[in-house]
Chains A and B, each alone.
Chain A
Amino acid sequence: MVREVDVAVIGAGPAGLAAAVEAAAAGLSVTVLDEQPAPGGQVYRAIERADSGRLAILGQDYAEGRELVAAFRASRAEYLPAATVWNIGTDRLIDYSQGGEIACLRATAIVAATGALERPCPVPGWTLPGVTTAGGLQILLKGAGVVEDDLVLAGAGPLLWLIASQLVAAGAPPRAVVETLPRGRQAAALARLPGALRAAGYLRKGVALMNAVRRAGVAVHTHAEGLEIEGETRVTGLRFRAEGGEHRLHCTAVGLHQGVIPNPQVTRLLRCEHVWDASQHAFRPVLDDDFQTTFPGLYVAGDAGGIGGARAAALQGRLVGMHLAARAGRKVAGKPAALRTALARDLAIRPFLEALYAPDPAILNPADSTIVCRCEEVTAGRVRAAVKLGAPGANQVKSLVRTGMGPCQGRVCGVAVSAIIATARGAPPDTADYYRIRPPLKPLALTELAAYPMIAPDLEIREP
């Protein structure tokens, strides 16, 4: 009754596309399910539609995605665009919706290539219209050529500088970049510089981005603290302390960024084991050498398994695709060993970046009055009160104050709430737990559920 495939890939970013191309090339039946209408993921979003002007703004790293997307289009992998996967059972039954209708698929192997989420940035005013993630601004630029005219970028991380430089190139420079990197970070990161030199190209690019932004005359404030977004019904300004004084910048848009973290929804749904990555300041799923999780048959490629960036994601995707082919007894054309060497070289920059751009401690410990859970509008103070009452972890706090119970299912607040609980308990972050993720992964219209396909006979049910 249910269609079966060898491999289901969730996500059509670099990891998912690469895994699909390799597995399909070896003759496996592959289905790629992706929420977007076109392949590329967030990093290569709308790349097939990008004209030369857009490519010039977004830069060479973005343009690199064309090759992978073209290879995917040429492959024999089945592609289901605009398809939302909202449940995966332990029987590897995948429930998804496409065009308002539910369909099911069963796969021998599942590759979660679901990428990254932005780390939560709970600061006063972050729920006002006009506040977006920095990544969100980049999505507007890539997908629609829409830019904010009156924007301040605030936070820290390589993406903050990348979007700033892209906006400069687009002729829409931000009013200011307010960097929240605490003092002393450069010194701390220096110890990891020698290793990073193996991926020196990234270092050079990063420096070039920052220089381009400064050269364009964008005001840059460093070591900023005490961010507060002002406004009643929409953003009117940003306040912060820096350079020994109070600042207030008028603006109608604020782009926040504190780095990205693995998207945990699929691996948490299937109760995979996760570990705290102290360098990335994030949980990530435990993966074996072949990128398999502790749930047999579920693999993770790309940022969802630990942040590594687009190139590493594609390399991991190819390795997963090759492994699945080999496991199925198919002949594999590529050379996994060479890919692993390239992957190690590419990831060499990470420890340096992670030390430099570790999240701002203030972000991890917001004031009592600051909203943490945007969906249910729960403040940090209410989370702390639940802990004081004796709630031992994220799920008990969730039961008591509704954090993570809204439609985002903790995507936005999860790691912030876990960190607040750990701090309130005086426990190190690696002992914090995380929400149990329940299906559906995204809200599902009851009318749509009512039309769930007849994949099996109904059981006889006793009346209660």
Chain B
Amino acid sequence: MTQPSQPARSADVVVIGGGIHGSSAALYLAQRGLSVIVLEKDSVGRHASGVNAGGVRRLGRHLAEVPIAVRSRRIWATVADFLGDDCGFEVAPQMRLARSEEHLVAMRARVAEMQALGYHHEVMIGTNQIREYIHSLSDEVVGAVACLDDGFAQPYQTTFAIHRKARALGARFHEGVRALGLTREAGGDWRVATAEGDFTAPRVLLAGGLWSGEISATLGEPVPIIPFAPMMLVTTRLPPFCNAVVGAAGVPLSFKQMPNGTVVIGGGRPGRPDAATNRAETTFHPLRLSAQTCISLFPIMAEASVVRTWAGLEAEMPDQIPVVGPSLRHEGLYYAFGFSGHGFQLGLGMGEIMAELIATGATDVDLAPFSIGRFTGGAPAY
């Protein structure tokens, strides 16, 4: 680790966390001409940002997240030009399969609710249309709700590309540097203590994923963050049979076949998380259920072998939506963490929004549902 000189230790903004959210915010802040330092305790994209399922999904989002997901999707459309890297992004339907009339009723109600709000990207599709995308499908399936122009991307490749673009725009990344504490100086600047010395800035963005809770608690804003290690597995190559990212009502599943033929299966079966050791461990007893689900929904999967499994450390919030927005206790402190296992698609749009908020003090996106105040009970204290 090279020792940065004193001026290099201060910036307009210090971002804590080099995942997709921290890196993306750094990119957009740098694009706005602000000087940015990113502190990452491991390496960029090491945890949830690099090892998630890579879903570029608007389908089924919490209503509060929909505007952010829609904004993000617009950026995804030009991601190759924007980042100089295609990020492995492929447009494909995301769909959630129904296996009963009850499932269909709930899905129709959701689509109607979305339509009423002016969102038309979620639609009901029938089995004939599903079979256009999935050539090996169980007869149990009776329909699906789908977002036909969602997609998927390569999570590490994407986070790494965002990081490179941010660096090219002048953001300074310090990897292997853990933020140990955050204090406010008399003069007004924040001071971030690390083993490599202190870093200072008038504004700080805490985007440290699972590890954010420790820091927000020391600042009087504790949150009930839950470590969560959703497991993923990838199989041997199969002939092309599925050109959609598939979930299913009533069962945890995220299923897609990559262009190279391998199949990536996730969807929330939890492994064993250990934030202290930075480790998330796969346990196979629960994964057998994912195997059963896949074989029953997609008969060709009986041909597949599991090549590798992994679990990423995610920060889950009790209400399944992240903590985003300004601190309610401290001026110049912002939060973007707790994406609860579905923050990847949001990364690009969220970074743009956070940069706007931090640079101008406001954004036209309604961040109220994501306020840390819902856990701390606080109203703005400054």
Contact = CB atoms under 8 A, between A and B. Distances in A.
Interface in B297-313: 301-302, 304-310
A407 B236 contact: yes
Contacts of B160: 389-391, 396, 399-400
What range describes how many residues of B lie at the interface?
Answer: 35 or more
Interface in B105-157: 154, 156-157
A439 B236 CA distance: 14
* Most chain A CB inside 10 Å of its own CB: which residue of B286, B304, B305: B305
Nearest to A87: B284
Contacts of B252: 461-464
B307 A446 contact: no
A450 interface: yes
Contacts of B251: 463
Interface string A37-81: 000000000000000000000000000000000000000000000
A464 B156 contact: no
A267 B309 CA distance: 17
A337 interface: no
Contact of A396 (B156, B292, B302, B304): B156
Interface in B275-332: 279, 281-289, 291-292, 294-295, 301-302, 304-310
Given A449-B287, A461-B269, A463-B252, A444 B305 contact: yes
B319 to A, nearest CB: 12
Contact of B284 (A95, A443, A459): A95
B10 interface: no
Among A87, A389, A439, A449: residue with most chain B CB under 10 A: A449
A93 to B, nearest CB: 8
Given A443-B306, A444-B306, A449 B272 contact: no
A449 B284 contact: yes
B285 A443 contact: no
A271 B279 contact: yes
B269, B281, B284, B341: residue with the most chain A Cβ atoms closer than 10 Å: B284
B247 interface: yes
A454 B50 CA distance: 32
A451 interface: yes
Contacts of A95: 284
Nearest to A376: B260
A111 B113 CA distance: 59
B267 interface: yes
B291 A450 contact: yes
Contact of B267 (A399, A458, A464): A464
Nearest to A464: B268
A89 B284 CA distance: 10
Given A446-B295, A464-B267, A451 B288 contact: yes
Counting chain B CB atoms within 10 Å of each CB, the highest count among A102, A393, A443, A444 belongs to A444
Given A390-B160, A399-B50, A443-B305, A438 B288 contact: no
A406 interface: yes
A308 B301 CA distance: 44
Contacts of B341: 464
B19 interface: no
Nearest to B267: A464
B311 to A, nearest CB: 9
A464 B309 contact: no
A249 interface: no
B314 to A, nearest CB: 12
Interface in B40-63: 43, 45, 50
A392 B291 contact: no
A405 B288 contact: no
Nearest to B248: A463
Interface string A429-450: 0000000001110011111011
Interface string B162-198: 0010000000000100000000000000000000000
A440 B295 contact: no
A90 B272 CA distance: 10
Interface string A397-408: 001100001110
Nearest to A457: B285
Contacts of B45: 396, 399
Interface centre among B157, B236, B294, B306 (most CB of A within 10 A): B306
B246 to A, nearest CB: 12
Chain A contact-residue range equals 35 or more
B254 interface: yes
B31 interface: no
A102 B286 CA distance: 14
B251 to A, nearest CB: 8
Contact of B289 (A389, A443, A458): A458
Contacts of A445: 304-306
Most chain A Cβ neighbours within 10 Å, of B247, B254, B281, B295? B281
Given A396-B43, A449-B284, A459-B270, A405 B307 contact: yes
A361 to B, nearest CB: 29
Contacts of A87: 282, 284
A447 B342 CA distance: 29
Nearest to B289: A458
A396 B284 CA distance: 25
A406 B304 CA distance: 14
A449 B157 contact: no
A452 B156 contact: no
B308 A405 contact: yes
A208 to B, nearest CB: 45
Nearest to A444: B306
B283 A438 contact: no
A114 interface: no
A333 interface: no
A249 B175 CA distance: 51
Contacts of A392: 43, 175
A257 to B, nearest CB: 28
A442 to B, nearest CB: 9
A456 interface: yes
Contacts of A440: 284, 306-309
A389 B164 contact: yes
B306 A449 contact: yes
Contacts of A439: 282, 284, 308-309
B33 interface: no
A449 B291 contact: yes
Contacts of B234: 405
Nearest to A386: B160
A-B pairs, top 5 by smallest CB distance, nearest first, are: A452-B288, A399-B156, A450-B291, A443-B305, A449-B291
10 contacts: A393-B43, A399-B50, A400-B157, A438-B309, A445-B306, A446-B301, A446-B306, A447-B302, A461-B269, A461-B286
Given A446-B301, A449-B306, 5 more contacts: A90-B281, A396-B45, A399-B157, A409-B307, A446-B235
Interface of B: 43, 45, 50, 154, 156-157, 160, 164, 175, 234-236, 247, 249-252, 254, 267-270, 272, 279, 281-289, 291-292, 294-295, 301-302, 304-310, 341-342
Interface of A: 87, 89-90, 95, 102, 271, 389-393, 396, 399-400, 405-407, 409, 438-440, 443-447, 449-452, 454-456, 458-459, 461-464
